[in-house]
Amino acid sequence: MSDQNNHQKDAGLILRVENLSKSFGGVKAVVSVSFDLYEGQLLGVIGPNGSGKTTLVNLITGFLKPDQGKIVYKGKEINGWAPYRIARIGIARTFQMIRPFAELPSFKNLIIPLYSPRVKALSGGKYGDLDAVAKDYLEEVGFERESAVTYKSAGSLPHGYLKRLELAKCLALRADLIILDELFSGLSIAELASIVPIIEKLISEGKTVIMIEHRLRELFRIADRVVVLNYGSVIAEGIPSEVMERPEVRKAYLGSE
Amino acid sequence: MWEVALIYGFINSVILALTALGFSLTFGISGVSNFAYGAMYIFAGFASWLLLNKLALPFFLSAAIAVILTAGLGAAMYRFVLLRVRGLVISEVIATFGVGLIILELFRYLGFSGFEYTLPVFSDGSLLIGNTYVDYQRIWIVGVGIVLAIGLYLFTHYTKIGLAFRGIAQDEHTALSLGINSDRIAGLSVAFGSGLAAIAAILILPRGTIAVNDGYDVLINAMAVCIIGGLGSSVGVVLASFLIGYAQIMTDILSGPHWKMIISLVAILVILVVKPSGLLGKQKELEERI
């Protein structure tokens, strides 16, 4: 905690993204993006397809290196760090195309993050009964205790359970900042109704969440703030109900006609 | 004759599985084809020989040090050569093959050839099975081979590093996002594979002399077994070892030992034509090719 910023206005600041840019060849995927995120907030990142949302996630989590700009997490500059180091300081992410360890049983998928040095340090150097801990996390995201899905190989899980497993992995890593890339996509209304409270609970426990989403209605119900990207740039930022009223946002979403 | 074929076919199969185990493990975990694999095998043989004969260490100590040195050589190759080209398959193959060539040809250049280069057997004598004599070294090979296979299974299923191995084998990106340093784990997998080559060498080489050219044969056999079994499939490796193992012994008995090596090459060709991803392999790109 020694490197925490003293400025009053920075109290509770967990992530600061400053002038972040990334191009692929001639395509500018992310253009000078800046935003601040405070502890315990839920930030939505929205924008039309190809607006740079996933590139932004990949930059923050180290899967891509920025061309320009700074990413500061809890006072530490992390731009250019390897993904595993970023995971170890408490930033977890999910992937838009879900990527479980397909041949491992669901609960074993969680043993891998449970073995990470971060979790070991946070739990006082002891691992304990990891199978039981893994099952606790699965229960937290809605797997029934000792149910068949707990032991099934992750590759054979139904879509809804795969999404829950993604969430559980972030929990098992004991991340403070959780970045969910289109978690809601492909979920039924009923599945959404059961997964939204899990996210609300995370927030109430003090976690910070970034959600990349296309399902705006569901997102707006829980987001504190949204950032709107278009062609890689931030075109609007604010509380959800206001942002959607802005003409530039309507234009980006509905087209210029 | 059939009894001999049965027993020696079995032993030959275990030998093949033992030589292929490390190659398969490394590929299965990190996707790296270690073409220096045969060189690692020979390196372990000469390293052990040097420690035994030049430093006069006890045999088992020199063997243990040779295994560690070979694993270290694998780790160093990953760190200083492979890491730079990681992900470019053709570069990985060329780079590791180059390292293997340097090692093997360096031994040849330094004059490591002759009947004096041989490792001692673990214990003298032989066992009569039915009407067939089997020397103790071959019994050792079969015993250690089986123990090693079971040990590897337990290792990959019940230890922390083993689980990390399986994690990066199944999805490297997810593993990274959960805090696994995949470069380090991949390096470990190359070191482990090289160490397994060394164990195979220590067990198998006492049957003859340590010859530089065997390095190339070991690589071909390991590749044959892995390609036929399906790259990355450990059950496939065992299955293919028994197929080729018995095929080699039958060829040996029916048409003479010099045809033995051809079998592996023909088997590779046949399987590549008939089922390109191997008996139990899952190479989606190959199966779904249009």
Cα angle value B70/B76/B82 (rounded, 5°): 120
pLDDT > 70: percent of chain A: 95
What pLDDT is stored for residue B103 in this prediction?
95
| Class of residue B184 by CB neighbours under 10 A (exposed 0-12, middle 13-18, buried 19+) | middle
Q: SS3 of A13, please?
A: strand
Distance from CA of A95 to the nearest CA of B (A): 8
What pLDDT is stored for residue B36 in this prediction?
95
Q: Residues near B103 by Cβ (< 8 Å), separated by ≥ 6?
A: B36, B39, B40, B42, B43, B215
pLDDT confidence bin for A255, thresholds 50/70/90: low
Annotated domain spans of chain B: 2-114+136-279
Inter-chain touch B179–A116, beta carbons under 8 Å:
yes
Inter-chain touch B163–A88, beta carbons under 8 Å:
no
Regions of chain B where pLDDT drops below 50: none
pLDDT tens string A121-146 = 888 877 778 888 899 999 999 888 88
pLDDT of A1 over the 50 cut: no
User: Which of B29, B166, B178, B183 is the best residue to mutate to test the A interface, defined by the most A CB atoms within 10 Å of its own CB?
Assistant: B178
Cα–Cα distance, B20 to B220 (Å, whole number): 10
What are the φ/ψ torsions at residue B135 (nearest 5 degrees)?
A: -70, 155
The per-residue pLDDT of chain A, averaged, comes to 89
pLDDT tens string A217-241 = 889 999 999 999 999 999 999 999 8
Q: Are the C-beta atoms of B50 and B182 separated by less than 8 Å?
A: no
Inter-chain touch A101–B180, beta carbons under 8 Å:
no
pLDDT tens string B133-151 = 888 889 899 999 999 988 9
Across the strands, what pairs with A229? Answer: A234
What pLDDT is stored for residue B290 in this prediction?
63
A to B CB pairs, distance under 8 Å: 67
Strands A225-230 and A68-73: unpaired
Cα–Cα distance, B45 to B198 (Å, whole number): 7
- B2-114+136-279, CATH topology level: ABC transporter involved in vitamin B12 uptake, BtuC (1.10.3470)
pLDDT of A26 over the 70 cut: yes
Q: SS3 of B282, please?
A: coil
pLDDT tens string A54-76 = 999 999 999 999 999 999 999 99
pLDDT tens string A156-205 = 998 889 999 999 999 999 999 999 999 999 899 999 998 999 999 999 99
Q: Are the C-beta atoms of A19 and A224 separated by less than 8 Å?
A: no
Q: Residues near A196 by Cβ (< 8 Å), separated by ≥ 6?
A: A218, A221, A222
What pLDDT is stored for residue A74 in this prediction?
93
pTM of the predicted model as reported, rounded to 2 decimal places: 0.85
pLDDT of A4 over the 50 cut: no
Q: Which two tokens stand for residue A172?
A: 């098992």
Q: Does A120 touch chain B (CB under 8 A)?
A: no
Beta strands in A64-213 (DSSP E): 68-73, 76-77, 91-93, 177-181, 208-212
pLDDT confidence bin for A43, thresholds 50/70/90: very high
User: Which of A81, A112, A176 is the best residue to mutate to test the B interface, defined by the most B CB atoms within 10 Å of its own CB?
Assistant: A112
Inter-chain touch B177–A112, beta carbons under 8 Å:
no
